[in-house]
A and B are shown apart, each in its own frame.
Chain A
Amino acid sequence: MTAIVTAKNLSQIYELKRGMFAKPLALKAVKETSFTVEQGETLAIVGESGCGKSTLARMLTMIEPPTEGELTIDGIRIAEASDSDLKRLRSIVQIVFQNPYGALNPRQKVGAILEEPLKINTSLSAAERRERAEKMLAEVGLRPEHYGRYPHMFSGGQRQRIAIARAIMLEPKILVLDEPVSALDVSIQAQILNLLAELQERLGLTYIFISHDLSVVRHVATRVMVMYLGRPVEIAPVEELYANPLHPYTRALLAATPAARPGRRGARQRLTGELPSPINPPTGCAFHPRCPYADERTKRERPELTQHGKTMVACFAVDEGRLPPPDAAVVETPEPRA
């Protein structure tokens, strides 16, 4: 196992303009985030809106360079990469978006959508491109005759298949999946998850799977990174995270995820309060206003990620050993299907 992506102290700061004369506000979408992604694994990034997971996706796909920090992909440091290296990197990392309706150009036919990456990056002839595109259609479970159709003639699931096909046209090594199934219905979601799993097996892809849905993440991920307001709060292997969640936020997320088991409601602790604004985050640990274990120290100091067993967690309550064991109702494994 080798790290294919290494992120060190990655930060992304946006400036929000407030009219001509006011000083622009700094929005720190991602703050000093460090993590690695191993070749062939699926790293899930979990969090609610405003936690910086989509910003992270934009940095990983080189749509936006990080404001600070260092990103190394496939052995190349992005900040110092030459133009030809960058070009190679672009075909190594590809992305699939959440909304299959917005991700495909409505004025392009499916064939043109699939061939665009080849047109820009390779010198294949039109016939070769077409052949590849048709092969790819079959690969993602569509038919060759779909080649000449426009995106609006497809259902959401089929569009997501097209988006996936476009992403793997250049034979990438890393696929950033930005909530790829959250806009889809359950039955279609299962089809797409299966397709992704099959492609990963066959092509040896590395997935960075961004999601807010913990039940999906549990199914697909090998490791999980939980983010809150721009920082990772817990990084753990998937079994460990679900069996023994450490950070209070992770526990709250697990408790809030509705389970398809009637009568489970009310047995859990609920999180109070709203998500704070990333423009004006709380001092100390960003989670302290909503955390049941917060004390004076968490309001002043910010905990760093530290290793606890297989888990990396940023929480003083864990460090100080005053966190109770997780709520039984939360970590209970699902009943086996009848």
Chain B
Amino acid sequence: MSLLTIRNLSVTFATASGPFRAVDGVDMTIAPGEVVGIVGESGSGKSVAMLGLMGLLPDSATVTADVISFEGRDMLKMSNRERRKIIGKDIAMIFQEPIASLNPCFTAGYQIGEALKTHLGLDKKAARRRTIELLSQVGIPEPERRMTAYPHQLSGGMSQRVMIAMAIACEPKLLIADEPTTALDVTIQAQILDLLLDLQRERGMAMILITHDMGVIAETAERVVVQYAGQQVERQSVANLFETPRHPYTSALLAAMPERARGGRLPTIPGVVPGQGDRPTACLFNPRCPKADERCRTVVPPRQPAELGEALCHYPVGADPRPPEAIPPGFGPLSRQPLEGGARASTIAPEVPGDAR
């Protein structure tokens, strides 16, 4: 049985210029003990979807879904009280800014102790014992001393460890990590990722890792969801995603990484993620997609089968049903136009908002 099932989750914000759909029809199934990565650029709604699930969005947001069930229990029909029992205990979350996520007025030990007292009903002594245990589990040296430290006395890496200790305090079955290492230095990032994966394996905990960094995804996740403008455009196992990306967006995103490039210019994706005012019709990626044709602009793309990465695309990469001459020139080093007569401004791929209409 799956741990968490989400069907058709959408989040809409009321803004000054009308409603804005930040998350659009997200599906997700998480099995116990699985690591799923959600990757996307800023504005892709990757965090918003999870915050919506946790009920952490501001009042201007409306969250709708067909199904949200956790361990077979329907979370949509639950009372707020029951929901809160699950959230924080069975589902825990950690955030990008570890220092800002801790209350600066209380010591690290006190904040973990509070979580233990409210959710597990431990008494003071047991909570203290457990806190020390947790802190040493997340690799904090001298946990007795660090317990009495205030958040500002801890470094970013240490604060994130404290946040992780707090999140795993109640033995959650699912941990949602929202860009847990983005604010940290590279060497500390490696430590924190290792820690998260070790804890996940030891406890058989499922984990959703939200990040914008393809490298982090490659090193941690088993399955990957690629999100673009609020939609899941591709869902694949991590090995297949990096080997044979099926959605043109994923493939372009991978190609744009400097580490995959070999000298010269990087292949780029023109334009920006569509916002509220310039939401394209049909396929949301069509204004930026070099392979798009009339169909992409008029017909909403179907969800491809699992062999094709469940790509949300008419013409998945490597399985384009069109005859070769009908395909517009695509990405990649071969199709890149040579710079005529030295570089000029027009080859710099100006960002073109507004062309979407």
A residues near B86, Cβ cutoff 8 Å: none
B349 at the interface (CB under 8 A from A): yes
- Please state if B186 and A190 are interface contacts (CB–CB under 8 Å): no
B262 at the interface (CB under 8 A from A): yes
- Please state if A258 and B218 are interface contacts (CB–CB under 8 Å): yes
- Please state if B187 and A258 are interface contacts (CB–CB under 8 Å): no
Closest Cβ–Cβ distance, residue A116 to chain B (whole Å): 22
Which of the segments A55-63, A171-179, A181-189, A298-306 contacts the partner chain? A181-189
- Please state if A258 and B272 are interface contacts (CB–CB under 8 Å): no
- Please state if A138 and B345 are interface contacts (CB–CB under 8 Å): yes
B194 at the interface (CB under 8 A from A): yes
- Please state if A262 and B212 are interface contacts (CB–CB under 8 Å): no
Closest Cβ–Cβ distance, residue A329 to chain B (whole Å): 12
A119 at the interface (CB under 8 A from B): no
A residues near B259, Cβ cutoff 8 Å: 215, 218-219, 259-260, 334
A4 at the interface (CB under 8 A from B): no
- Please state if A337 and B260 are interface contacts (CB–CB under 8 Å): yes
Closest Cβ–Cβ distance, residue A7 to chain B (whole Å): 24
- Please state if A218 and B187 are interface contacts (CB–CB under 8 Å): no
Binding site for B on A (CB under 8 A): 48-49, 138-143, 155-158, 161, 185-191, 193-195, 197-198, 201-202, 212-216, 218-220, 252-253, 255-265, 270-272, 274-275, 334, 336-337
Q: Out of B187, B193, B348, which one reaches A194, CB within 8 Å? A: B348
CA distance A139 to B238 in the complex (A): 39
Closest Cβ–Cβ distance, residue A196 to chain B (whole Å): 10
Q: Out of B189, B197, B219, B351, which one reaches A264, CB within 8 Å? A: B219
Most buried by A among B193, B220, B345: B345
- Please state if B191 and A257 are interface contacts (CB–CB under 8 Å): no
- Please state if B158 and A189 are interface contacts (CB–CB under 8 Å): no
B residues near A264, Cβ cutoff 8 Å: 218-219
- Please state if A215 and B257 are interface contacts (CB–CB under 8 Å): yes
B29 at the interface (CB under 8 A from A): no
Q: Out of B42, B188, B332, B351, which one reaches A191, CB within 8 Å? A: B351
CA distance A185 to B249 in the complex (A): 13
CA distance A201 to B344 in the complex (A): 11
CA distance A4 to B188 in the complex (A): 35
B204 at the interface (CB under 8 A from A): no
CA distance A259 to B253 in the complex (A): 14
